[in-house]
Amino acid sequence: MARMAGTAARAEALLGHGVVSTTPVAGGDICTATRLRLSDGRSAVIKTRPTPPEGFFAREAEGLRWLADAGGVNGGANVPELLAVSDDCIVLTWVEPGKPSGDVAERFGRALAATHAAGAAQFGADVDGFIGLAPLPNRSLPTWPEFYASRRVMPYVRAAQDRQALSHEQAMIIEAAMKRIHDLAGDPEPPARVHGDLWSGNIIWGTDGEAWIIDPAAHGGHRETDLAMMALFGLPHLQRVIDAYDEAAPLADGWKHRVALHQLHPLLVHAVLFGGTYGSKATAAAQSLLDGPSDD
């Protein structure tokens, strides 16, 4: 009760509106989420963490704003409105969760294509960010293969080795794939405006009949990265999303084989954070790239 009262007081100070009630939101290992009913009739959600890394919530807010800029007349993916942000919390409009449907999945696929098409000024971002609580190096490099190998994969290969989540032999296989990344990456594409951590838990299927994206690790990247992330842990109606996306913004030849390339980074992040079999899964993904496309 004391924590809830403190959360309500923090929200009131930031929003300038009274909080009528608070309700804990299930899930979320990184932050504590609380639904707020405000005195003006709106609902919001506040995410808090006692000692977040410096700039943690600020980076999230910047990513949400940047992704939201691709909406409106451009028809980009829906992003909850940012109501307030501070060093220890962030407050967003509440999205009432509903059930996934094929029609919503198709609209989301088209909207995500529009978000990606809004583009970015560079591969990377002006400042480093976070994926979960893990650091996300964002310093720009001229091409996506250079950026992905140097800012996404190899830092986490080293970190996974340090945490004994990846053996030397496994690291060498992934490094061998990175040495061939210019051949593996397909034809060059301009920087896309990507979410960067688009697993199923960061997509809310709203009761309003829309899909909403949250918790970004936004940066200028490759559009196939978001699609590969959706496939990594499973997404309802994924094929409907992909088909609608491909119709709106046709994917390049060979994109299915490159899914393993784009999944290397999140698999390595999980190896660093959670250990288990993620190091082996990352190694298997790299080996599949070195082996080349299958005949089927």
Domains delineated in the chain: 2-93 (3.30.200.20), 102-291 (3.90.1200.10)
Helix (H, G, I), strand (E, B) or coil at 263: helix
Helices 255-274 & 223-232 angle (0-180, nearest 10): 60
Contacts 24+ apart (CB under 8 A), 152-158: 152/264, 152/265, 153/178, 153/264, 153/265, 153/268, 154/178, 156/265, 156/268, 156/269, 156/271, 156/272, 157/268
Token pair listed for 120: 């970015």
User: Which pLDDT value is given to residue 3?
Assistant: 57
pLDDT-derived band of residue 284, with 50, 70 and 90 as boundaries? very high
Q: Percentage of residues in the chain with pLDDT exceeding 70?
A: 96
Residues 240 and 86: beta-carbon distance below 8 Å: no
User: Which pLDDT value is given to residue 26?
Assistant: 84
Phi, psi of 293 (to 5 degrees): -60, 145
What percent of the residues of the chain are helix, what percent strand, and what percent coil, each to the nearest 5?
Answer: 45, 20, 35
Higher pLDDT pick, 26 / 141: 141
Residues 138 and 129: beta-carbon distance below 8 Å: yes
Q: What is the dihedral sign for C-alpha 65, 67, 72, 77?
A: negative
User: Which pLDDT value is given to residue 188?
Assistant: 96
User: Which pLDDT value is given to residue 6?
Assistant: 84
Is 87 a known active-site residue?
A: no
Per-residue pLDDT for 251 more than 70? Answer: yes
Catalytic, out of 197, 215, 226, 246: 197
- Lowest mean per-residue pLDDT among 5-9, 33-37, 192-196, 238-242: 5-9
User: Which pLDDT value is given to residue 74?
Assistant: 73
Residues 221 and 286: beta-carbon distance below 8 Å: no
pTM of the model: 0.94
Q: For residue range 84-132, list pLDDT tens digits in order.
A: 999 999 999 999 999 999 999 999 999 999 999 999 999 999 999 999 8
Helices 255-274 & 278-291 angle (0-180, nearest 10): 160
Residue 250 DSSP class: P
Contacts of 224 (CB under 8 A, 6+ apart): 251, 252, 255, 258, 259, 262
Per-residue pLDDT for 65 more than 50? Answer: yes
Per-residue pLDDT for 271 more than 90? Answer: yes
User: Which pLDDT value is given to residue 2?
Assistant: 45
pLDDT-derived band of residue 75, with 50, 70 and 90 as boundaries? confident
